[in-house]
Amino acid sequence: MYMAKVVGNVVATRKDESLVGYKLMVVKKIDAKGEFIDSEEVAADYVGAGIGDYVLLCKGSAVRVNDQKHKVAIDMAIIGIIDTIDV
């Protein structure tokens, strides 16, 4: 898993049918101090995150199956909203 900050959203009127209904967000990975450590990426939002939220990301095959057990065209997903980080 990774930590990130939601910095924007993506609107795609034409997309793979498996993405219909998913909110797409622009995220930027962070370290434990909240500093940006990577470039922006797009993630499907599974939990209702908003711009400015700090979130947990999951990447790869773990996020390619939705709750109905169908394969979806997703490589990265927001799976949690971070309340606090203690280091």
Instruction: State both tokens at 51.
Output: 């711009």
So what's the pLDDT on residue 66? 57
Mean of pLDDT over the chain: 90
Q: For residue 70, name the pLDDT band (cuts at 50, 70, 90).
A: low
Domains detected in the chain: 2-81 (2.40.50.220)
Instruction: State both tokens at 54.
Output: 């700090």
CB 41 within 8 A of CB 26: yes
Q: CA 83 to CA 74: how far, in whole Å?
A: 25
pLDDT tens-digit readout, 29-58? 999 999 999 899 999 999 999 999 999 999
| Global confidence as pTM | 0.88
Instruction: State both tokens at 18.
Output: 């498996």
Q: Is the pLDDT of residue 62 over 80?
A: no
